[in-house]
């Protein structure tokens, strides 16, 4: 795999504006810059998603790196090149859940949420809301939590969620509806 993180220059304007499908086609043909553009485009969302699952920034970064190495090696196997994000999320999800079964670092996310608000009272309220949401998500069954994260954090379609989790679209919709209902009930005091 090419040294992606060592190059300081970002993607060109043309690559930044190109669709995922075009970037995948170029990357399959060996264009490292096109692959770098895909990474630049999708890494922040994927890192947030992985951090939520793994509850560790370091573990999320490790899994994200593994995901991109696998993606680079298997890019030519992507059937629908316009669904690169969903494909990358599938790889990341599999790697994350595989990683959960391994012994890993003890450094979990702290409850030290930060806010950009200058008002300490609003910051305290926002941080308490985020802790409550985090606890609520932790209390959900795994299938509901994963559906919610894939939809609300990763922004995947119901079909992409179903494909990622190897369930039907109806099951994905049902899991997401139950997750949303549970979250609404548990977060009632924060309305």
Q: What is the pLDDT of residues 7-43, one digit of tens each?
A: 434 556 666 678 989 999 999 999 999 999 999 999 9
CA neighbours closer than 13 Å in the CB half-sphere of residue 34: 18
The predicted pLDDT at position 15 comes to 66
Residue with token string 């939809």: 151
Closest CA to 187 of 148, 136, 123: 136
Which residues have a Cβ under 8 Å from the Cβ of 190 and sit 6 or more positions away? 129, 132
CA 48 to chain centroid, in Å, comes to: 5
Check residue 190 and report its DSSP letter.
G
- The predicted-structure confidence for 94-135, as pLDDT tens digits, reads as follows 888 888 766 544 444 444 444 444 677 777 777 777 778 778
Domains, the chain: 11-101 (1.10.1740.10), 118-191 (1.10.10.10)
Check residue 75 and report its DSSP letter.
G
- The predicted-structure confidence for 156-190, as pLDDT tens digits, reads as follows 889 888 888 889 999 999 999 999 898 888 888 77
The angle formed by the CA atoms of residues 37, 164 and 150, to the nearest 5 degrees, is 70
Contact at 8 Å (CB) between 149 and 49?
yes
H-only helix segments in 75-157 = 84-100, 120-139, 142-148
Does the pTM surpass 0.85? The reply is no
Q: What would the two tokens of residue 142 be?
A: 């795994």
Q: Using CA atoms in the order 145, 142, 106, 153, what is the torsion angle rounded to 10 degrees?
A: -20
């Amino acid at each position: 795999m090419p040294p992606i993180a060592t190059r300081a220059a970002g993607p060109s304007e043309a690559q930044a504006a190109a669709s995922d499908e075009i970037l995948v086609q170029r990357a399959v043909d060996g264009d490292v810059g096109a692959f770098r553009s895909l990474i630049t485009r999708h890494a922040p969302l994927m890192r947030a998603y992985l951090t939520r699952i793994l509850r560790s920034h370091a573990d999320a970064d490790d899994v994200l790196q593994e995901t991109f190495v696998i993606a680079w090696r298997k890019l030519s196997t992507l059937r629908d090149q316009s669904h690169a994000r969903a494909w990358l999320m599938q790889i990341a999800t599999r790697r994350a859940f595989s990683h959960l079964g391994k012994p890993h670092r003890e450094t979990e996310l702290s409850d030290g949420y930060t806010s950009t608000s200058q008002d300490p009272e609003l910051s305290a309220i926002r941080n308490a809301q985020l802790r409550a949401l985090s606890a609520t998500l932790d209390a959900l069954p795994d299938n509901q939590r994963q559906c919610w994260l894939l939809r609300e954090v990763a922004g995947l379609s119901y079909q992409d969620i179903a494909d990622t989790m190897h369930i039907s679209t109806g099951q994905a919709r049902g899991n997401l509806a139950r997750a949303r209902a549970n979250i609404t009930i548990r977060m009632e005091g924060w309305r």
